Structure 1
Amino acid sequence: MTRLLPGVIAMAAIVVASNILVQFLFGDWLTWGAFTYPFAFLVTDVMNRVYGAATARKVVIAGFATGVACSLIGTQIMGEFGPLVTWRIAIASGTAFLTAQLLDVAIFDRLREEAWWRAPLVSTLIGSAVDTILFFTLAFSASLSFLEPGNDVSWANEMLPLLGVGPAVPLWISLALADWCVKLGLAIVTLVPFRVIVQKIAPLGS
């Protein structure tokens, strides 16, 4: 339990912060939550490296439970345009988080014995790509409107230039691409804290 607690606390803090910050826009394509959520992969990978895949999965489950609680609370809070969290967003968020994080754990574990940077980098890149695809598709694709028929997502399917400069695509594609670019950048940047944190706590996990 002692080894779990720091990871659970860190993961819960990231999930709660991201659920709050996603309400605030950053530019035309992002929210502030896009800059905090990717650190969930850092927590998962540190726990995986130091304590193993089983412990990392427990931290993921704790993060998932926290996310579900945040979503349920959000569905009960009314904003200017309705609930802060729609049921479709809640489904997309939970599905994307659990799938991507568990995939991250599995890939990291498979690459554990290779160069120190390969497991966290590859697992995070693949996991974050899956996370982005699942979340934005489930949350906003017009083809999946049956998930919550009463939720109007026509605004997300408006045809606009990709990131303002490319070919015309549904708005949610631009939002997804911008989000993934942030995750890509942070996957590289967080290799430094990953290395530092692991070196500091690895003796405690052995």
Structure 2
Amino acid sequence: MPLQRAYTFSDFILPVLAMCAVVAASNILVQYPFNHFGLGEVLTFGAFTYPIAFLVNDLSNRRFGPQFARTVVYAGFIIAVVLSIWLATPRIAIASGTAFLCAQLLDITVFSKLRQLTWWKAPFASAVFGSILDTLLFFSIAFAAQFAWIDAATGQADSSLAMLVPFFGKEIPLWMSLGFGDLMVKVVMAMVMLVPYGAILAIFAPAIYSANRNSK
């Protein structure tokens, strides 16, 4: 999969649709706590789906380069925000759009700087850094009391999750606890996503995979 300077509209269809599907699903699922194994106060279902966006982004970057990946992110951002407004609350849509755009652009930057290293380092590092920024932006905007004005301005009930919950012997706002749990899962999912990433790279770009797998 060598980098290409010229690409067609059809090249964008699959990655943009994949981005939109992941973000739309995550916007819905992040509103539902993972009420299993006592993790209802530290985890939401959205943590299991959102990391797929980094896989789509990294494969686009690897196949066509950072400029193409940024275009996919911008297109996915616009469509995802529209879908988020329809499927979720305005506050969730704003939080999702802001976090998505910033995190995915950071992912592209980190991936591009590390793309010549061992095949797994660029996608893993970029996903981890992107996940940290995404979690911080999304959970603070979507659920911190400081952003309750968004609900008020859009005629919605306050959706802040500011109630205190136990956290390693202390108490912190629920949104922080949920954010921490989601980030931990996103890091694990970043490792899991290396499996399909490596498989796709080995099948469709064996030269790149072979050249990079033993790099330092």
TM tier, smaller:
0.7 to 0.9
Say yes or no: does 1:2 pair with 2:31.
no
The secondary structure found in structure 1 opposite 2:117 is coil
> Which residue of 1 is the match for residue 25 of structure 2?
17
Equivalent positions of 1:79-118 (< 5 A) are 85-118=88-121
* Cα deviation, residue 112, structure 1: 1.3
Equivalent positions of 1:190-201 (< 5 A) are 190-201=193-204
Q: Larger deviation: 24-33 or 46-55? A: 24-33
Looking at structure 2, the residues matched to 73 and 119 of structure 1 have their Cα atoms a distance apart, in angstroms, of 34
> Which residue of 2 is the match for residue 178 of structure 1?
181
Q: Are the counterparts in 2 of residues 19 and 70 from structure 1 also a CA contact under 8 Å?
A: no
Amino acid at match of 1:130: L
* Cα deviation, residue 56, structure 1: 1.0
> Which residue of 2 is the match for residue 70 of structure 1?
83
Looking at structure 2, the residues matched to 145 and 128 of structure 1 have their Cα atoms a distance apart, in angstroms, of 23
* Cα deviation, residue 105, structure 1: 0.6
Q: What is the aligned length?
A: 191
Looking at structure 1, the residues matched to 203 and 186 of structure 2 have their Cα atoms a distance apart, in angstroms, of 25
Amino acid at match of 1:134: L
* Cα deviation, residue 37, structure 1: 1.2
Say yes or no: does 1:35 pair with 2:60.
no
> Which residue of 2 is the match for residue 158 of structure 1?
163
Q: Are the counterparts in 1 of residues 143 and 159 from structure 2 also a CA contact under 8 Å?
A: yes
TM-score, normalization by structure 1:
0.84
Q: Deviations over 1:129-180 (max 9, x none)?
A: 00000001111222233333364245x1111102xx5410011111101111
Q: Are the counterparts in 1 of residues 27 and 96 from structure 2 also a CA contact under 8 Å?
A: no
What percent of counterpart residues are identical? 49
> Which residue of 1 is the match for residue 60 of structure 2?
47
Any stretches of 5+ residues in structure 2 without a counterpart? 1-8, 207-216
The secondary structure found in structure 2 opposite 1:30 is coil
Across the aligned residues of Structure 1 and Structure 2, the Cα RMSD in angstroms comes to 2.1
Q: Larger deviation: 88-97 or 7-16? A: 7-16
Any stretches of 5+ residues in structure 1 without a counterpart? 75-84
* 2:191 maps to which of 185, 188, 195: 188
Q: Deviations over 1:56-107 (max 9, x none)?
A: 1122122212321212213xxxxxxxxxx33222211110000000110111
Amino acid at match of 1:54: Q
